[in-house]
């Protein structure tokens, strides 16, 4: 009789302990959505999908003897002069144009170095909007009905009736300093948003130097 009571008590204690263990186990596993492979308190490792950007303007390293030297192949020029040289050379989409850079070097570039000046933000001055944040593809809503987001848009000009038609030539028919674009880049207009500052100060690295003309030996 005594033994029976003892067996009951031991039985109840064991059942209780097993129950507690099972419960804790369930709670533990459940905390991870029923998986044992989780970090609990540890922070998950997040890898950013963006690879570290290397500034495109970093001059290339070159070895001279055993020393690494920075050499910059690019020409250094005022952005307004760069656009001007492109305009004066006939504003071709594909053909290269030449210009003299700020150091007097003869250089060559193509439209592909001109377009980013209209497309990139934080370029003309710190925090500046890109031109295309206002003058974009949809000429119906773009100020001055001007789209500078592409070659075709720049050539089509401003004050366009619709996407199909051309408007006013902003490139001054090849005469840069008398063009509307030159005027809006170099003159501040207090009453026109986006143009309250003259943008002519920007210098850029663009294009490649042309080889020096061979010196003709004196006869
Ligand atoms: C914040 C918006 C904004 C930004 C950014 C902006 N513009 Fe403008 N732009 C305007 C407005 C507004 C006008 C005047 C529209 C009008 O007179 O109807 C204008 C006018 C012009 C005109 C004159 C067109 C004409 O026929 O009168 C040119 C050219 C121009 N912008 C080029 C640029 C270029 C190039 C950039 C980039 C460097 C730029 N804009 C950045 C808003 C902007």
Helix axes 79-88, 111-119, angle to 10 degrees: 130
65-77: pLDDT as tens digits: 666 555 566 899 9
Question: Which of 194, 200, 201, when mutated, tests ligand 1's pocket best, judged by the most ligand atoms within 8 Å of its CB?
Answer: 194
At residue 215, the pLDDT reads 67
At residue 19, the pLDDT reads 96
Please give the Cα distance from 198 to 203 (Å, whole number): 14
Backbone angles phi, psi at 215, to 5 degrees: -70, 125
Spell out the domain ranges in the chain.
1-46, 62-209
Instruction: Give yes or no for residue 119 CB within 6 A of ligand 1.
Output: no
- For residue 176, the 8-state DSSP code is G
At residue 79, the pLDDT reads 94
Report residues of the chain scoring pLDDT below 50: 54
Instruction: Give yes or no for residue 132 CB within 6 A of ligand 1.
Output: no
Compute the chain's Rg from CA coordinates.
Answer: 34
Reference 83, options 119, 42, 129; nearest CA is 119
At residue 50, the pLDDT reads 54
Contacts for 149 with CB less than 8 Å, ≥ 6 apart: 118, 119, 132, 135, 136, 137
Q: Tell me the pTM.
A: 0.71
């Amino acid at each position: 009789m005594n033994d029976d009571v003892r067996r009951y008590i031991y039985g109840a204690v064991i059942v209780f302990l097993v129950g507690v263990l099972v419960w804790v186990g369930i709670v533990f596993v459940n905390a991870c959505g029923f998986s044992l492979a989780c970090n609990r308190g540890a922070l998950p490792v997040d890898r950013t999908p963006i690879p570290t950007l290397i500034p495109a303007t970093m001059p290339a390293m070159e070895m001279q003897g055993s020393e690494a030297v920075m050499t910059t192949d690019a020409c250094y020029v005022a952005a307004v002069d760069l656009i001007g040289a492109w305009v004066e050379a006939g504003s071709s989409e594909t053909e290269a144009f030449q210009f003299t850079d700020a150091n007097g070097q003869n250089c060559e570039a193509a439209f592909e170095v001109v377009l980013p000046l209209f497309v990139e933000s934080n370029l003309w001055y710190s925090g500046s909007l890109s031109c295309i944040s206002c003058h974009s593809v949809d000429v119906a809503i773009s100020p001055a009905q001007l789209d500078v987001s592409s070659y075709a848009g720049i050539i089509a000009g401003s004050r366009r009736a619709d996407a199909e038609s051309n408007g006013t030539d902003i490139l001054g028919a090849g005469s840069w300093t008398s063009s509307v674009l030159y005027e809006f880049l170099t003159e501040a207009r207090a009453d026109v948003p986006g143009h309250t500052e003259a943008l002519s100060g920007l210098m850029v690295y663009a294009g490649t130097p042309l080889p020096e003309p061979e010196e003709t030996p004196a006869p």
